[in-house]
Chain A
Amino acid sequence: MFYRLQTILLNLTFYLLFFAVAAVLVPILVVYGCVLVPFCSWRRTLKRIRALIRVYGITMIHLGWPFIRIRTEWADEPPPEPCIYICNHRATSDGFLMGMLGCEGVQVVNIWPFKIPVLGVFARLAGYLSIREMPAEEFMQQGTRLLDDGVSIIAFPEGTRSGSRQMGPFHGALFRLALRSGAPIVPLCLSGTEDKPTKGSVIMKPGLIRMRFMPPITADVYQEMSPFKLKNHVRNCMISELEQMEQEE
């Protein structure tokens, strides 16, 4: 009964605030971004656009407080930057959570984020990589260039939301990029997002979201692996870690 009441309150407040904040925050971010463009280099502008997207993500993901709480769990050392963040993908909120990373990053996305009004333009400007729209070689070139520029790549190699605690098979493009660039891979396990909201629904459920950063997998560990072996190695590490996280609950 109490949980049901919490769910109702969460959804009432969250969606009310979501649209209200979006209506206020998006124009502010657009104006802020546009005003500063003529005074900065393109590289700095890109950095600023990515920071604005991060601000938006952090703001939106915190609108569910106190019904939705977020806990970040770090490995011994902060992730090396730039790196390739490999995240499991259970729900829509995962994309917003990436604002919590605190680094300059570009997400690898499907086509649909580019179709979101205003934000889609921001995503395109920020150089988000639309993996379904680009040939493999172009993806490799752009990804390598971003990493060389100090920009981390954030990706959900399952390619779509799993909608449950099961992890889907991984696509290999990110791991081929790692093998080509030598960038460290940081597996990031997301737990508790599977019902925020559940796939096919808009109802958010109260609870704790945990973001656990696993120790980086560096090139000296993976350079001898095939792309296929590397992707399955990372996937298996994440499955074990998620099982452990969920047993701790």
Chain B
Amino acid sequence: MQRDKIIELVNEVFLEDFEMEAGQLVPEVHLFTELGLDSLDVVDLVVALQKKFDVSIRDDERVRDIRTLNDLYDFIEALGQEMGSK
């Protein structure tokens, strides 16, 4: 999947499931300190992303290292490449 498409779909999750405004969704924004997500919101986010991308990321340790929206795009992109190579 192209990065542009990943960005579009991830942003859709934030717009639809978290009712955020498009202007907030810049790549360098910090998910916790700036967008205000907490640990329970992360669980909701993981569920929504799994549904959107049809992947299983619940037990993926890399989720813990995600801080910014850009980290999240990178993570989904890496996940897509891993799945494509299998």
Interchain CB contact under 8 A, A226 and B40: no
Query: Hey, what's the 0/1 contact readout for B17-52 against A, CB within 8 Å counting as 1?
Result: 111000000000000110011101100100000000
Cα of A229 to Cα of B32 in the assembled complex, Å = 14
Q: Which residues of B contact A172 (CB under 8 A)?
A: 38, 40-41
**Is B33 touching A228 in the complex (CB atoms < 8 A)?**
no
What total count of A-B pairs have CB within 8 Å? 35
Q: Is the CB of B38 within 8 A of A229?
A: no
B19, A228: Cβ atoms closer than 8 Å: yes
CB within 8 Å for A169 and B33 given contacts A228-B19, A229-B19: yes
Asked if A227 contacts B36 (CB within 8 A), the reply is: no
| A194 shortest CB reach to chain B, Å | 21
Flag if A228 contacts B44 (CB, 8 Å): yes
- By a CB distance below 8 angstroms, the chain B residues around A225 are 19
Closest partner residue, chain A, to B43 (CB atom) = A136
A169 close to B38 (CB less than 8 A): yes
The interface on chain B, measured as residues whose beta carbon lies within 8 A of the other chain's beta carbons, has a size of 11
A170 proximal to B (CB < 8 A): yes
CB distance from B36 to the nearest CB of A (A): 4
Q: How far is the CA of A225 from the CA of B20 in the complex (A)?
A: 12
Residues of B within 8 A of A170 (CB): 36, 38
Assuming the contacts A169-B32, A169-B33, asked whether A227 and B40 have C-beta atoms less than 8 A apart, the reply is yes
- Known pairs A226-B17, A226-B18, A226-B19; A232 contacts B40 (CB<8 A): no
- Set of chain A residues within 8 Å of B44, measured between Cβ atoms: 226-228
A 154-179 binary contact with B (CB < 8 Å = 1; else 0): 00000000000000011111001000
Contacts of A136 in B (CB 8 A): 40
Taking a contact as CB atoms under 8 Å apart, the answer to whether B32 and A173 are in contact is: no
Smallest distance from the beta carbon of B25 to chain A beta carbons, Å?
Answer: 14
Chain B nearest CB, measured from A135 CB (Å): 11
For residue A228, which residues in chain B have a CB less than 8 angstroms away from its CB? 17-19, 36-37, 41, 44
Binding site for B on A (CB under 8 A): 136, 169-173, 176, 225-229, 231-232, 235
Q: Can you list the 5 inter-chain pairs with the closest CB atoms, starting with the nearest?
A: A169-B36, A229-B19, A228-B18, A171-B38, A172-B40
The interface of chain B, by Cβ under 8 A from chain A, is 17-19, 32-33, 36-38, 40-41, 44
- Beyond the given A172-B38, A227-B41, could you list 18 further A-B residue pairs with CB under 8 A, ordered by the A residue number? A169-B32, A169-B36, A169-B38, A171-B40, A172-B40, A225-B19, A226-B17, A226-B18, A226-B19, A226-B44, A227-B40, A228-B17, A228-B18, A228-B37, A228-B44, A229-B18, A229-B19, A232-B36
Cβ contacts A to B, 19 pairs, < 8 Å: A169-B32, A169-B33, A169-B38, A170-B38, A171-B38, A171-B40, A172-B41, A173-B38, A176-B40, A225-B19, A226-B17, A226-B18, A227-B40, A228-B18, A228-B36, A228-B37, A228-B41, A231-B36, A235-B36
